[in-house]
């Protein structure tokens, strides 16, 4: 498993191990939030890359990689050694799909909300007495995994929940019985020209879904999302079963199979009335332990999917109202010197806006710092104006260096360019582009004041910003 310290690859390694494979890996990035789970089951991860990992006796049967690696580094030493030896290369998603063989595959997909929704569904199933397996692209807590926090869970039940990512066909390995679809938005501008191109990819994948035990395939769709609604309108000739969910706003959403009305917002909860969960369509109240309208939509997708899987209304509501969340999704990291710090994986303008709205619900009256480590140069360049628009609604902003990821061209834009675009919109607020994640944490420590809320967002190493900031404030 090349890149075994990543969220997805580490889950694939764990699931292959649980399924009986002999697994090893490598990742020169060193320990990550995901490697403790590998250590706990004694999966060895080398801290370097070498053809010796492949040219061993006996050689590995398969070499699993991220698709980005095969695209940008075809001369990677382990890839070359595997090709020379005739060892098959495959995406790590195929390893997850193979581990799920024989189970009822439930795929949670969408541009936004996949990890929270997949983790929430897994929690609901476990809480109801089920024993599902799962891959989620964010850390599940130890209570769900039965050991270290991890992005994978191994169970003996019939259901396998998998987070399915649309980037470059990453979800092509999965042939789900049930698709739970949260949203369709334009993202990944390096592979999709616009939202319509994203929707076409989802459409083709859904049409390839495979029913379980000769049953009709099911699509649970959040039709309150414009992109999902357009997709559903084009599925008139699809022979699967469609279940619609929606948040009712000003009378909209009444045609959906499951509808939620938001009746109350607290700092740590959102109260909703659910219609369609009970057989007689009577309203059932659920107090969700999280903030933000987007999380109400995620909860609806979870509830409808659980209903398709046969759970009772009482079991579904119990699971919805007891979910502790997943790692790096609106995660409260701590408080020091009167400054509260949150961490989130948001790296798209839509997701950032929803997360900022949720923080303002959780922390009313505080000065809000939006701290962002942009994820990839191509996304930052394509959405520069949209990023500047949403980030400029905060009270103060810090932009860390861009995490390149799979990018080859690192000159198309910069963190400074984004900071300057924000400054043009809000010249009166504090704005900085301090550099690395370490430099950003140090700069923030000199700028924040008691009563502030710091929301750190992004991929890459952005989670280190909040951790280091809290360390500095506590040392003082």
Exposed/middle/buried for residue 337 (C-beta within 10 Å: 0-12, 13-18, 19+): middle
Per-residue pLDDT, 212: 66
How would you label 213-236 residue by residue, b for 16+ Cβ within 10 Å and e otherwise? eeeebbbbbbbbbebbeebbeebe
3-class SS of residue 159: strand
Please say if the pLDDT value at position 7 is more than 80.
yes
CATH 3.90.190.20 assigned to domain 331-475? The reply is yes
Lookup: tokens for 66? 């991220």
Do 210 and 217 form a contact (C-beta atoms < 8 A)?
yes
Residues β-bridged to residue 271: 264, 287
Query: 410 vs 109, 373, 386, CA distance in Å?
Result: 29, 15, 20
d(CA 189, CA 196): 12
- Write down the domain spans for the chain: 7-91, 100-320, 331-475
What CATH number belongs to 100-320?
A: 3.40.1190.10
- CA 186, distance to chain mean position in Å, is 16
Q: pLDDT tens across 387-441, in order?
A: 999 999 999 999 999 999 888 889 999 999 999 999 999 999 999 999 999 999 9
User: Cα separation of 202 and 390, whole Å?
Assistant: 27
| Residue in 421, 438, 298, 278 with CA at minimum distance from that of residue 358 | 298
Mean pLDDT across 119-130 = 98
Among the residue ranges 228-237, 339-348, 403-412, the one predicted with the least confidence is 403-412
Among 25-29, 149-153, 351-355, name the one with the lowest average pLDDT: 25-29
Least confident of 222-236, 238-252, 279-293: 238-252
pTM of structure? 0.96
Across residues 339-356, what is the average pLDDT? 97
Task: Give the other-Cβ count within 10 Å of 328's Cβ.
Answer: 25
The residue-averaged pLDDT of 184-188 equals 97
| Both structure tokens of 99 | 């581990």
pLDDT at res. 251: 53
331-475 matches 7-91 in CATH topology: no
Predicted local distance difference test score (pLDDT) of residue 250: 55
* Residue spans of beta strands (DSSP E) within 43-147: 45-46, 63-65, 89-91, 104-109, 133-140
E strands, 141-203, are 150-153, 159-164, 178-181
The whole-angstrom separation of Cα 139 and Cα 150 is 5
Kindly tell me the sign of the dihedral angle through the C-alpha atoms of 410, 416, 418, 424: negative
E strands present in 55-193: 63-65, 89-91, 104-109, 133-140, 150-153, 159-164, 178-181
Mean pLDDT lowest among 5-19, 56-70, 83-97, 457-471 = 56-70
Q: What is the pLDDT of residue 34?
A: 96
- Give the integer Cα–Cα distance in Å for 429 and 368: 11
As a residue count, the chain comes to 476
Distance, in Å, from the CA atom of 349 to the CA atom of 353, rounded to the nearest integer, reads: 6
> For the ranges 28-32, 162-166, 272-276, 432-436, which has the lowest average pLDDT?
28-32
pLDDT at 353 over 60: yes
Homologous superfamily in CATH for domain 7-91: NAD(P)-binding Rossmann-like Domain (3.40.50.720)
Q: Does a cis peptide bond (omega within 30 degrees of 0) precede residue 106?
A: no
């Amino acid at each position: 498993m090349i890149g075994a310290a990543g969220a997805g690859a580490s889950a694939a390694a764990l699931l292959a191990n649980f399924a009986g494979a002999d697994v090893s890996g490598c990742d020169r990035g060193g320990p990550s939030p995901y490697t403790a789970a590998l250590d706990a089951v004694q999966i060895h991860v080398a801290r370097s890359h070498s053809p010796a990992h492949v040219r061993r006796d006996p050689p590995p049967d398969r070499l699993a990689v991220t698709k980005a690696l095969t695209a940008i580094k075809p001369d990677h030493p382990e890839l070359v050694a595997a090709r020379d030896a005739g060892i098959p290369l495959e995406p790590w998603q195929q390893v997850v799909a193979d581990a799920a063989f024989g189970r009822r595959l439930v795929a949670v997909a969408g541009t936004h909300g996949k990890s929270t929704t997949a983790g929430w569904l897994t929690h609901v199933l476990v809480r109801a007495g089920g024993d599902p397996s799962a891959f989620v692209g964010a850390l599940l807590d130890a209570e769900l995994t039965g050991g270290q926090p991890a992005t994978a869970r191994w169970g003996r039940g019939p259901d396998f929940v998998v987070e399915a990512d649309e980037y470059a066909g990453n979800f092509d390995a999965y042939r789900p019985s049930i698709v739970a679809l949260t949203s369709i938005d334009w993202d990944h501008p390096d592979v999709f020209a616009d939202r319509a191109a994203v929707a076409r990819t989802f459409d083709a994948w859904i049409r390839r879904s495979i029913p379980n035990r000769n049953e009709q395939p099911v699509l649970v769709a959040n039709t309150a999302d414009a992109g999902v609604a357009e997709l559903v309108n084009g599925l008139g000739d699809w022979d699967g079963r469609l279940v619609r969910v929606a948040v009712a706003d000003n009378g909209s959403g009444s045609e959906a199979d499951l509808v939620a009305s938001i009746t109350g917002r607290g700092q740590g909860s959102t109260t909703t009335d659910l219609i369609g969960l009970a057989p007689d369509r009577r309203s059932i109240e659920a107090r969700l332990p999280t903030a933000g309208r987007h999380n109400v939509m995620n909860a609806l997708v979870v509830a409808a999917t659980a209903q398709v899987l046969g759970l009772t209304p009482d079991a579904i509501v119990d699971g919805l109202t007891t979910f502790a969340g997943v790692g790096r999704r609106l995660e409260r990291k701590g408080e020091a010197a009167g400054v509260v710090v949150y961490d989130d994986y948001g790296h798209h303008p839509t997701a950032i806006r929803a997360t900022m709205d949720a923080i303002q619900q959780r922390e009313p009256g505080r000065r809000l710092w939006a701290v962002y480590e942009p994820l990839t140069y191509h996304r930052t360049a394509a959405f520069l104006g949209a990023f500047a628009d949403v980030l400029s609604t905060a009270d103060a902003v810090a932009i860390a260096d861009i995490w390149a990821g799979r990018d080859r061209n690192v000159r198309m834009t910069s963190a400074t360019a984004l900071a300057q675009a924000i400054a043009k919109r809000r010249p009166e607020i504090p704005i900085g582009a301090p550099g690395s994640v370490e430099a950003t944490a140090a700069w923030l420590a000199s700028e924040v004041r008691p009563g502030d809320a710091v929301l750190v967002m992004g991929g890459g190493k952005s989670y280190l910003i909040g951790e280091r900031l809290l360390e500095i404030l506590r040392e003082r």
